[in-house]
Structure 1
Amino acid sequence: MTQHEGDSDRMNIAIDGPAGAGKSTVARKVAGQLGYVYIDTGAMYRAVTYTAQRAGVSPEQTARLAELTRSLQIDLRPGDHGQSVYVNGEDVTASIRSREVTLQVSYYAAIESVREVLGTLQRQLAARKGVVMDGRDIGSHVLPDAELKVFLTASVEERAARRYREISDSQSITLRQLESEIAERDRLDEQRAISPLVCASDAVVLDSTGMTIDEVVAAIVKLSRTKLAEAK
């Protein structure tokens, strides 16, 4: 990562919100427009989930899971088609988006040792500023000092419809099924004891239900430029 002249021209942006709100797409585009580094924390939790599933380690096996998480070298590399995710040198970008991982990631992400290891890694990545990070607890827990915090949300119906459009026809799942899965993930994320999904008190809430991706990106870029101007 190349460092720009003068840290005062760079800030950290935290984008939190529930499953399917479009955080990753928005965060990646905001980072691209500002020339910042995008850090997909959800991909990191998915990488742990995928590796644990493959190793036969369940979320209940907390000691084994902690050991496994600490042994992982997770790399996020920008590519032509978005971000590639590597675990111990292996490209797992496609594998971590499977339905098996999607249905289980909230359970693995609720484990304290997993959040501790990944949270430390995420703070190290953000230490030099100029980072856009998205997740469930970035503004409230991982980067409480982020200069701009956005809580991106949308109705359950809208989020399910977006996810439904993303999923290939080969996967037999109904829109109603997706709605109930997303509502269940919201419940798990909001009720977990460790760093639950919560809107930071100083976050700007953006309801993207009636907005296009580009409109959301433009709104966040504008907010960031206003914040930087105010800081000068």
Structure 2
Amino acid sequence: MSGDGSQYVSQQILGAGLVIAIDGPSGAGKSTIARLSAAELGTRFLDTGAMYRALTWYALQQGTDLNDPAALAMLAASISLQVEDVPHAPRVLINGRDVTALLRSEQVTSMVSRVSAVPGVREQMIARQRQLIKAAQESGRGIVAEGRDITTVVAPDADVKILLTASEQVRQQRRQGQLGVGTDAVSARDLADSQVNNFTTPAPGVELLDSSDLSEEETLEAVVAIVGRVFKARHA
């Protein structure tokens, strides 16, 4: 993108420590759009789903029983997890090891909803996520954080809150392109994740952005435009 619009908005929000929250269902493209938005706006970037994926990968490596909530919560509390929130090269490290490339495997994808649904796990991960968001906010750099419950649970007081969605058919196509998984994967993730979060209806103060008929570039432009409009309205 890097057009006049994004440059103008990035200059306007410079030093404001803006928190931009983007939620959405599987396959909506929120990870890519959030990362690109952070790069365009000059903020930090937080993929909260990658944190749950990292814990899931680690649990599988450790042989932790994924049907044992107490064991998973204990693992979430003790894991040495480092998130590098640089949008151009975000990384997740466990015990100093870069595991970023391992987090999109079919095994992790099929198990992550089970792990992330555990209340004790969510409590630990949300606390870590809030620390990262607070640090970016206080630094003046700001952050774009994406996930399933950022606008409602993790950062309900975010400056900009967006629910990014798309039709199930479009999301299935996108997910297949990303992971090469079957067309039932999106429906399965929706069903599993809906037990914890309502990511289909925007909460009060959350802007709905349907990207079904938008390209990646157009979706990015729409997000930047929303950020600019909300920031301008608040500082008018």
What TM-score, normalized to structure 1? 0.87
Unaligned runs of 5+ in 2: 1-10
Question: Percentage identity across aligned positions?
Answer: 39
The residue number in structure 2 matching 1:202 is 205
The residue number in structure 2 matching 1:19 is 26
Contact 2:104/2:179 (<8 A) preserved: no
Residue 23 of structure 2 aligns to which amino acid in structure 1?
D
The residue number in structure 2 matching 1:153 is 165
Contact 1:59/1:111 (<8 A) preserved: no
CA shift in 2, pair 1:104/1:85, >3 Å: same
The residue number in structure 2 matching 1:92 is 99
Summarize the alignment of residues 26-105 of structure 1 with structure 2, pairs less than 5 Å apart: 26-77=33-84, 82-105=89-112
The residue number in structure 2 matching 1:229 is 232
Unaligned runs of 5+ in 1: none
Give the C-alpha shift of residue 30 in structure 1: 0.6
Give the C-alpha shift of residue 200 in structure 1: 2.1
The residue number in structure 1 matching 2:179 is 167
Give the C-alpha shift of residue 58 in structure 1: 2.7
Contact 2:45/2:86 (<8 A) preserved: no
Contact 1:9/1:228 (<8 A) preserved: no
Residue 208 of structure 1 aligns to which amino acid in structure 2?
S
Aligned length: 218
- For residues 78-129 of structure 1, give each alpha carbon's deviation from its aligned partner in whole angstroms, at most 9, with x where no partner exists: 5796322111111111111100000110110000111101101111111142
Partner Cα separation in structure 1 for residue 112 and residue 179 of structure 2: 18
The residue number in structure 2 matching 1:108 is 115
Contact 1:156/1:179 (<8 A) preserved: no
Partner Cα separation in structure 1 for residue 120 and residue 151 of structure 2: 20
Partner Cα separation in structure 2 for residue 111 and residue 124 of structure 1: 20
Give the C-alpha shift of residue 10 in structure 1: 3.2
CA shift in 2, pair 1:113/1:197, >3 Å: farther
Residue 166 of structure 2 aligns to which amino acid in structure 1?
A
Partner Cα separation in structure 1 for residue 159 and residue 88 of structure 2: 28
CA shift in 2, pair 1:167/1:185, >3 Å: closer
Partner Cα separation in structure 1 for residue 210 and residue 152 of structure 2: 18
The DSSP-based 3-state class of the residue aligned with 1:217 is: helix
Residue 188 of structure 2 aligns to which amino acid in structure 1?
E
Q: Which moved more, 1:72-81 or 1:138-147?
A: 72-81
- Partner residue of 1:185 out of 182, 185, 189: 189
- For residues 51-95 of structure 1, give each alpha carbon's deviation from its aligned partner in whole angstroms, at most 9, with x where no partner exists: 011111133211211111111122222579632211111111111
The residue number in structure 2 matching 1:142 is 154
